[in-house]
Amino acid sequence: MDTCFVCRKHNGLESAPPGGYIYEDEHWMVCHAPGKLGPLGTLFIESKRHFLDYAEMTNEESASLGDVMRKIYHNLKLLTEAERVYQVTMMDGAPHFQSWLVPRRVTDTEKGMKFLARDDSCSDEDAAALAEKLREAMKK
């Protein structure tokens, strides 16, 4: 869809994510969020196909999502030393399935919604460096 931000990003019509895409398969694409949007390790998992939410997934999409998430959670926790990975799914920015994955480290003093509400950021350079490490880890 020409008007959807996520579709436009997938087609190279919007800025590429820092460090490029980390993972891609038949149904899913994973990238690091722009540094200004969250702490280091904040990832987006996006559906390749344009649809809104879980209710509109095909059987193949819903079946494969768990496998991809398991792999991402494992590697994100390993590389960021996250105690928890928060998953936030809203689709108010664009009507295209995407989840935010936000690592919460042991050293973070706040948890839950208070943690998510913080005005956190990281540099695009650090995000790109982590994206590279995650890309390598996801190949294993």
Q: Which residues bind Zn ion (CB under 5 A)?
A: 1, 4, 6-7, 50, 96
Query: Which of residues 10 and 104 has its CB atom nearest to Zn ion in the complex?
Result: 10
| Least distance to Zn ion, CB of residue 12, Å | 14
Three-state secondary structure string covering the chain: CCCCHHHHHHCCCCCCCCCCEEEECCCEEEEECCHHHCCCCCEEEEECCCCCCHHHCCHHHHHHHHHHHHHHHHHHHHHHCEEEEEEECCCCCCCCCEEEEEEEECCCCCCHHHHHCCCCCCCHHHHHHHHHHHHHHHCC
Q: Tell me the residue nearest to Zn ion as measured from the CB.
A: 4
Query: Which of residues 56 and 60 has its CB atom nearest to Zn ion in the complex?
Result: 56
| Least distance to Zn ion, CB of residue 11, Å | 10
| Least distance to Zn ion, CB of residue 7, Å | 3
